[in-house]
Amino acid sequence: MGGGLLFVSLALASTGNGADVQGEPKPAEAAPAPATSQDASGGIEQGIFRIKPLRPVAVLREEAMAAQPPTEQGTFRAADLVDLATLDPTIRFDIRYATANNFLSTPLYDEPRAFLQRPAADALSRAHRALMKQGYGLLIHDAYRPWWVTKVFWEATPVQWRKFVADPSQGSRHNRGCAVDLTLYDLKTGAAVQMPGLYDEMSERSYPSYAGGTREQRRLRDVLRASMEREGFSVYETEWWHFDFKDWQQYPILNIPFEALDNPSDVPAATANNSLAGVWAGELASGEAKLPLALSVKQLSGGEYVATMSSVKQGASFTADALSLTADAIRFEIKPIGGVYQGKLDADGAGITGTWRQSGVPEQPLSFKRSSAAPAAKPATQQGPASKPFSVPMNVNVPIAPTAFSAGGKAHLAYELHIANLGQWELQLLSLEVVDAEDASRVFAAFSQADLDRMMRQASEKTMLGPQQAGVVFVWVTFDRLQDAPTRLSNRFKVRLGDYPETIAVQTRPLAVAQNSLVIGAPLSGERWVAANGPSNTSGHRRALIPVDGHAAIAQRFAIDWVQVGDDGKTYRGDPKDNKNYYAFSHDALAVADGVVAAVLDGIPENVPGIDSRAQPITLANVGGNYVQLDVGGGLYAFYAHLQPGSLRVKVGDKVRRGQAIGRVGNTGNSTEPHLHFHISNSSEPLGAEGFPYALRRFEVQGSTKVEGDEIKAQLAVPGKSETRAMAIPADGEIVKFDK
């Protein structure tokens, strides 16, 4: 409880296009052969096998370049990558991934170059010289491949074709500089020879054992294979053009860009523990106060990191957002509280030195020391069912049906899907569609696997649920108008079980949608009130799934932390350690409806503003500070938290009228500065309840805010240009003037 500004949880292609200056082989026509499998996701176009990527390649590239390769244990040889263009002028190149003539139709490399570890390069040169005696030469398509490219391939490729691309969680032998993609060219004509299948084709024709094609095509494929195998290479089981060098296990997975390979000092001579994975201990100092912190980091199968930062003293935690490790530079955000951490990983990987910035708090030093080893590597995936199961062992539960509501000029539905894997194999969530329960062809929202990863709570393999594991998907669906929301909906998943190759569709039972939100009056009066940590699918309130007495609920699903700002966008003037200097302090909290006082708590002392300045240790009983709870009818309750001690003007059993003052805004309980926490729920238990949306009769939107570093950036509307809203809830970050 607390807010977006408050330290709550831490209170917490034809062949060739000029790819090589030495010239290229002339393109050859594809030989007659059985038609390859082709659907809306991919097929052969102009002699190149192409797919429709699952997500835009530009987006995947950005994500992959920010991710990190999997951590490996063991001792490896130092990298010694050789530019293959320096070996022999008669070796030719058609580096497809430096052009759009590849299966993704997008260049991945900035320059057309090919590298191998020196022993592999020497062996390749010997194979080429032997082939020249038979009238052929080697034509190279690819060799060393930075790990981030492997991740792009995996994330872009539909599931049915992933056996043709490497899993980034294991790395590719290309990443180790010990794999090469190639074919033959005819020394007399300079043309690439015809093989039974195309390069990078994802079909049965790509297998080295494929019995189709012409006899000559198969002979040439066998000539290539024999010459490579004599020099210590082995052909990949699904690709006739891919060969791995015998020593590949002795080299580490690399993620070095081509340009860095020209400078030997940029190439690591030995492996080091530069992974972030593990548990880190730190201490944030604020004057004499010390706030012990723990940063728990896990590396996912795709190489990216997820983390949770926790306040050891206060027993609270938050998921780190936008976490990145670029070289040795580390950055992550705690968005709901406006926190940003930037640091640098020590050379030995044992420490992180950096600074913490947070809204309303001066920049402070924050360093971490590694306190435990990185987690063990993920075990190999269990085998899946031998045939398509008649039922998927997946239980989907919706704790509370959604109610349509208006916010930010749109209509929305917000609800959670609690998913349990009841089976013996891993369950991978691949996509989710929210559809009309009466007509499943009407799709209201579609979420990819990457979307689901962001919509799930745990900092782990988010969309992968192991046997007997569970996860929560936070769903948020937006419509133009309230009347566009359905009366019943269903959730349609695509999933994969273990290693079973086909995707399986699972559609849940229909879910009723309520159409009428509780209509209330304003909880405060006046203007320039910011709906901090307000309704959105990423706010700390939205994800606050809290177990109370053995039952987990989200009482704060639609909660708002109301803070007031001045003309400068700040929440205070003068000394930030004095509650009286905050604009919100001492304002009257108002009854939003006629009702009866159901519960009160008084006597909790005021906090000094700051991230670690609680007047009392925080417990479930005092987390809301001094509060008032009103029974507003229909089984719903209005909750007002963090009020000033001694300011309560009501007692249990009192009847109140809408607009009546019930207490004053303060800074008590789990709060870092004066504000009013307000929410509506279905129980008199402040946190052991389910939150419901509501609608204010009328209010004016005066602007919006966003948190940047250690301050709020307020954008107030031009006078006379503010927007009036009716029968809606203020959206996250909106600046509001309440109607009298």
Q: Are 394 and 466 in contact (CB under 8 A)?
A: no
Known binder of ligand: residue 242?
yes
**What secondary structure letter does DSSP report for 567?**
T
Identity of the residue numbered 661:
A
- Helices 215-229 and 118-132 pack at an angle, to 10 degrees, of 130
Please say if 239 is a catalytic residue.
Answer: yes
- For residue 442 the two structure tokens come to 């009407």
Q: Are 472 and 418 in contact (CB under 8 A)?
A: yes
Please tell me which residue in 239, 416, 426, 461 is annotated as part of the active site.
239
- For residue 281 the two structure tokens come to 């201990």
Strands 661-664, 655-656: pairing is unpaired
Element (H, E) at 149: helix 147-156
Known binder of ligand: residue 128?
no
Strands 636-643, 443-447: pairing is unpaired
Q: How far apart are CA 263 and CA 121, in angstroms?
A: 18
Place of tokens 């989200």: 554
Q: How many CA atoms, within 13 angstroms, populate the side-chain half-sphere of residue 187?
A: 14
Q: Are 628 and 663 in contact (CB under 8 A)?
A: yes
List of E strands, 312-456: 316-319, 321-326, 329-334, 339-345, 351-358, 361-372, 394-397, 405-407, 410-421, 427-436, 443-447
List, in order, residues 6 or more apart from 666 with CB less than 8 Å away. 579, 585, 586, 606, 625, 626, 642, 643, 644, 645, 647, 674
- For residue 538 the two structure tokens come to 């990423």
Q: How far apart are CA 153 and CA 475, in angstroms?
A: 28
Q: How far apart are CA 731 and CA 176, in angstroms?
A: 49
Please provide the size of the chain in residues: 740
Q: How far apart are CA 686 and CA 326, in angstroms?
A: 43
- CB-CB neighbours of 402 under 10 Å: 21
Beta bridge partners of 564: 529
Q: Report the SS3 class of residue 550.
A: coil
Q: How far apart are CA 76 and CA 380, in angstroms?
A: 22
Q: How far apart are CA 491 and CA 397, in angstroms?
A: 11
Q: Are 519 and 680 in contact (CB under 8 A)?
A: no
Query: Quick one: which of 404, 409, 584, 648 has its CA closest to 3?
Result: 584
Output the DSSP codes for 629-684.
EEEEETTEEEEEEEEPTT-----TT-EE-TT-EEEEBB--SS-SSSBEEEEEESSS
- CB-CB neighbours of 196 under 10 Å: 24
Query: At CA 302, angle to CA 344 and CA 465, rounded to 5?
Result: 120
Q: Report the SS3 class of residue 279.
A: strand
Query: Quick one: which of 227, 244, 232 has its CA closest to 178?
Result: 244
Place of tokens 């269903």: 490
Displacement of CA 97 from its chain's centroid (Å): 27
Identity of the residue numbered 428:
Q
How buried is 234 (Cβ within 10 angstroms: 0-12 exposed, 13-18 middle, 19+ buried)? Answer: middle
Sequence ranges of the binding site for Zn(2+): 174, 181, 242
Sequence ranges of the binding site: 174, 181, 242
- Catalytic positions are 239
